[in-house]
């Protein structure tokens, strides 16, 4: 039932995008009467980098085994005309939801075309995608498998059967992580000192994951009342800026966060490898910013939680973080084993805000509030007019009004 509800929600969410492409011409760049999708092509082996420069209607060429849900939703939000994947979008390791999201949004998906396409096509070149082929004029540049709802459903069913192997590997990775990071997990050894004051405060950790926009919007009253320390994990810092907040701290390897966020005045904590290598530190230094280095084999969202816990945060609210097995595997990293153990370490301090926007929506609309205020104003006005006190208040109000008009007239004379 939950799966059906989530599919229905995604269909409702993506329907306006499909309509906008038809009505406003945000589909193929040109219509020459040939079947398929024709548009300019954008290529990048890293999907999250590609989505930063994609324009509506363009064709995205990616190299993404097991296309995950977050990447698919990012492609949908870019309103791409079609997606061509060098690798299999569903390898069978686990039932990933990315391909299904693309198809439900009406975006054609061609799979497993091979890496040669990156050398055979140039950025911005006009191509056509039709029936599993990528064509430049009449030349077939690459050919793969066009995914349909039926092929995706069949692949997901097969992937569910092999999920037990992935669970076994996940458990093995978890035990290996315990051996490597037991001092960090148990005693907090290796957590760096930071300037941001966390002692006795709430910490709101934002990852650009599932439903992060909706959950941040729902948490606005909480943020306004409790003033938590705002921690953005890589692109989560941009999510906070988009929502109108300035992050107090940014944690991550700094590969998917904007320069605007890095220079917004937040304290920067660069996630480094266990041996101290920190590739993201160079980018921070090039921007003229200082940073604290945190070496750990955990994921960036995990070290953000460990940091908040070690520095005395009384409550940790997580937005967009990974919480279940499919999400761990969607991340595509063995290091996701650290997430499970980090949650054990943080314990009762952690409140996962994932899906809070779907759990609760205010039943009071803006129009209802406006009508309520208007009704109260009318009631007060009637009460003043019909009561004896109105004889005293009305002359005072009239006097104030005339004084205001006299002052206003004096400004222009």
CATH (domain of 105): 3.50.30.10
Tokens describing residue 128: 């056509």
Q: Same domain for 219 and 125?
A: no
The residue among 108, 141, 160 that closes a domain is 160
Q: Do 341 and 383 belong to one domain?
A: no
In a domain, 413, yes or no: no
Distances (CA, A) of 372 to 193, 312, 365, 377: 51, 43, 11, 9
pLDDT tens digits along 52-110: 899 999 999 999 998 988 889 889 999 999 999 999 999 887 788 899 999 999 999 99
Domain co-membership, 114 together with 200: no
Q: Is residue 308 part of a domain?
A: yes
Residues 197 and 126 in one domain: no
pLDDT per residue as tens, the chain (413 positions): 444 444 445 444 444 444 333 333 334 444 456 788 999 999 999 898 899 899 999 999 999 998 988 889 889 999 999 999 999 999 887 788 899 999 999 999 999 999 999 999 999 999 999 999 999 988 999 999 999 999 999 988 888 776 666 667 666 766 666 666 666 655 555 789 999 999 999 999 999 877 788 889 889 989 998 999 999 999 999 999 999 999 999 999 998 899 999 999 999 999 998 888 898 999 999 999 999 999 887 788 889 998 999 999 999 999 988 666 666 666 555 445 566 677 777 877 888 886 565 555 555 556 777 787 788 778 777 776 777 766 777 777 777 777 877 777 777 66
CA gap 190, 147 in Å, rounded: 47
| One domain, residues 286 and 324 | yes
Same domain, 114 and 130: yes
Residue 104 within any structural domain of the chain:
yes
The Cα–Cα gap between 329 and 340 comes to: 12
Q: Are 267 and 194 in contact (CB under 8 A)?
A: yes
Number of structural domains (the chain) is 3
State the pLDDT at residue 375: 81
Q: Is residue 412 part of a domain?
A: no
- Please tell me the predicted confidence (pLDDT) of residue 186: 57
User: Whole domain around residue 300: which residue ranges?
Assistant: 163-359
Residues sharing a CB contact under 8 Å with residue 19, sequence separation 6 or more, in sequence order:
none
Alpha-carbon distance of 203 to 305, in angstroms, equals 9
For residue 91, give the nearest of 163, 2, 173 by alpha carbon: 163
Residue 170 and residue 155 in one domain: no
Residues 167 and 127 in one domain: no
Q: Which of 359, 389, 406 is the last residue of a domain?
A: 359
Same domain, 111 and 150: yes
The verdict on 122 and 188 lying in the same domain is no
Put simply, whether the predicted model's pTM sits higher than 0.85 gets the answer no
Distance CA 270, CA 252 (A): 5
């Amino acid at each position: 039932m939950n799966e059906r509800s989530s599919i229905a929600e995604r269909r409702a969410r993506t329907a306006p995008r499909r309509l906008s492409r038809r009505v406003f011409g945000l589909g193929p760049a040109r219509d020459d009467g040939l079947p398929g999708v024709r548009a300019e092509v954008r290529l990048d082996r890293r999907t999250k980098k590609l989505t930063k420069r994609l324009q509506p209607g363009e064709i995205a060429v990616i190299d993404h085994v097991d296309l995950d849900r977050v990447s698919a939703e990012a492609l949908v939000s870019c309103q791409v005309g079609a997606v061509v994947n060098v690798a299999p979008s569903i390898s069978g390791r686990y039932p990933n939801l990315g391909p299904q999201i693309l198809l439900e949004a009406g975006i054609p998906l061609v799979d497993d075309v091979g890496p040669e396409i990156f050398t055979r096509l140039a950025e911005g070149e006009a191509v056509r995608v039709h029936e599993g082929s990528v064509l430049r004029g009449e030349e077939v540049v690459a050919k793969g498998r066009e995914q349909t709802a039926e092929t995706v459903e069949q692949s997901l069913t097969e992937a569910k059967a092999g999920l037990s192997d992935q669970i076994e590997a996940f458990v093995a990775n978890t035990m290996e992580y315990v051996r490597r990071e037991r001092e960090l997990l148990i005693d907090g050894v290796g957590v760096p000192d930071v300037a941001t004051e966390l002692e006795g405060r709430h910490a709101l950790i934002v990852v650009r994951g599932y439903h992060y926009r909706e959950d941040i919007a729902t948490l606005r009253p909480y943020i306004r009342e409790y003033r938590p320390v705002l921690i953005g994990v890589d692109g989560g810092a941009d999510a906070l800026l988009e929502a109108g907040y300035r992050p107090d701290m940014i944690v991550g390897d700094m590969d998917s966060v904007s320069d605007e966020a890095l220079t917004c005045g937040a304290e920067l904590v660069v996630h480094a490898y266990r041996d101290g290598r920190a590739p993201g530190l160079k980018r921070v230094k090039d921007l003229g910013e200082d940073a604290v280095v945190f070496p750990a084999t955990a994921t960036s969202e995990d070290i953000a939680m460990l940091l908040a816990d070690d520095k005395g945060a009384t409550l940790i609210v997580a937005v967009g973080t990974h919480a279940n097995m499919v999400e761990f595997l969607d991340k595509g990293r063995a290091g996701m084993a650290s997430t499970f153990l980090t949650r054990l370490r943080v314990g009762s301090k952690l409140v996962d805000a994932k899906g809070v926007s779907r759990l609760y929506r205010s039943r009071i609309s803006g129009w209802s509030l406006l009508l309520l205020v208007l009704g109260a104003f009318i009631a007060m006005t009637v009460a003043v007019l019909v009561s004896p006190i109105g004889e005293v208040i009305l002359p005072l109000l009239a006097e104030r009004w005339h004084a205001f008009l006299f002052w206003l007239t004096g400004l222009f004379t």
